[in-house]
């Protein structure tokens, strides 16, 4: 038997999740879960393979309000993904509601209701919400109802602490976008080799969160997200989950370089790390003190909002 490829090696340490709306290319990587976001769904519905899904959904629900049709399109993608993956799908609440707890709750309830009406139990769905203070409060309420959440656009340790305090099921700390920020900030001074692997700023961020959670018995799952290269993924082997684009899943499959376990929950449990808890005032201050996280959170919400608007336009055209 030949050497195991990197993807199979990674699966020994970490649950592998596919980050895509393109459900037809999922099976080849055998991920356990899948994640979507407005940008990925927008990309998918513009491809010939997936366009009929949008057209059919709009045709069946033409008279509904626009946002209600959008949610049906998102859930339709989720249903198709769940035919391929054995685990969970993450479906995102409209990013334009990121600072509105009540509206986020309302939208999350509708998404879960649509899944349940389609015969899909809530244990197979993660409601994806931006890690704003308001989003974290919505997630806290949803978790108490048994609706599980994936808190996304997470860049700061403070966001992770607040999510752990709120009892959310899973967080998605972003690796590549953190790396992007530091690389851009350093400009000509950036040293790629010195900031690779365990020294990558995004990798360091996720590692610190993982170690904190494990040390203090916080049950929230850590799912590294937003990768720029396979080196970042390999450096986080051992993380609870990693959500990876099809392109990088293919790159891992094509390599048989070693993937040693980098993160270790047992090791983290014996680390000397102080407990941290944050009320709203401390959370907002800590986030404000972190220029990278402040900028990336705002930029991420804006970008998802733009793509949500484009999806709205496609749906409006389809029902015209």
Instruction: Enumerate the active-site residues.
Output: 128
- Pairing type for strands 221-224 and 241-244 reads parallel
Question: Residue written as tokens 């009320």?
Answer: 279
Please give the distance of CA 271 from its chain centroid, rounded to a whole number: 27
Q: Tokens standing for 180? A: 């992007």
Q: What is the dihedral of CA 262, 264, 269, 274, to 10 degrees?
A: 30
Q: Tokens standing for 158? A: 């403070």
Q: What is the dihedral of CA 285, 205, 293, 38, to 10 degrees?
A: -130
The burial of 297, by beta-carbon neighbours within 10 Å (0-12 exposed, 13-18 middle, 19 or more buried), is given as buried
Q: What distance in Å separates the CA atoms of residue 123 and residue 118, rounded to the nearest whole number?
A: 14
Helix then strand count (H, E) for the chain reads: 14, 8
Q: What distance in Å separates the CA atoms of residue 97 and residue 105, rounded to the nearest whole number?
A: 10
Cβ-based neighbour number of residue 267 at 10 Å: 13
Q: What would the 3-class secondary structure string for 230-292 be?
A: HHHHHCCCCCCEEEECHHHHHHHHCCCCCCCCCCCHHHHHCCCCCCCCCCHHHHHHHHHHCHH
Distances (CA, A) of 114 to 87, 198, 284, 312: 18, 41, 34, 19
Question: Residue written as tokens 């600072």?
Answer: 99
Q: What is the dihedral of CA 26, 32, 36, 40, to 10 degrees?
A: -30
């Amino acid at each position: 038997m030949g050497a195991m490829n990197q993807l199979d090696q990674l699966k020994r340490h970490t649950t592998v999740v596919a980050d895509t709306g393109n459900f037809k290319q999922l099976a080849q990587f055998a991920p356990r879960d899948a994640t979507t976001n407005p940008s990925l769904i927008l990309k998918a519905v513009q491809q010939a393979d997936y366009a009929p899904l949008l057209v059919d959904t709009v045709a069946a629900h033409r008279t509904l309000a626009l946002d209600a049709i959008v949610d049906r399109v998102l859930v339709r993608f989720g249903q198709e993904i769940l035919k391929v993956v054995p685990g969970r799908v993450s479906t995102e609440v409209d990013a334009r509601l990121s600072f509105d707890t009540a509206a986020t709750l309302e939208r999350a309830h509708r998404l879960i209701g649509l899944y349940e009406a389609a015969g899909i139990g809530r244990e197979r769905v993660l409601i994806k919400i931006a890690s704003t203070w308001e989003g974290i409060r919505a997630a806290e309420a949803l978790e108490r109802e048994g609706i599980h959440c994936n808190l996304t656009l997470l860049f700061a340790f403070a966001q992770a602490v607040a999510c752990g305090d709120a009892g959310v099921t899973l967080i998605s700390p972003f690796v590549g976008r953190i790396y992007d920020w530091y690389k851009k900030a350093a400009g000509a001074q950036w040293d790629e080799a010195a900031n690779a692997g365990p020294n990558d700023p995004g990798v360091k961020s996720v590692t610190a969160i993982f170690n904190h959670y494990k040390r203090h018995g916080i049950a929230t799952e850590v799912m590294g997200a937003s990768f720029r290269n396979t080196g970042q993924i390999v450096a986080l082997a051992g993380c609870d989950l990693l959500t990876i684009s099809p392109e990088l899943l293919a790159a891992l499959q094509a390599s048989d370089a070693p993937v040693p376990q980098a993160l270790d929950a047992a090791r983290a449990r014996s680390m000397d790390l102080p407990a941290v808890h944050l009320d709203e005032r401390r959370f907002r201050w800590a986030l404000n003190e972190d220029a990278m996280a402040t900028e990336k959170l705002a930029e991420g919400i804006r970008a998802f909002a733009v793509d949500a608007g484009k999806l709205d336009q496609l749906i409006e055209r389809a029902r015209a």
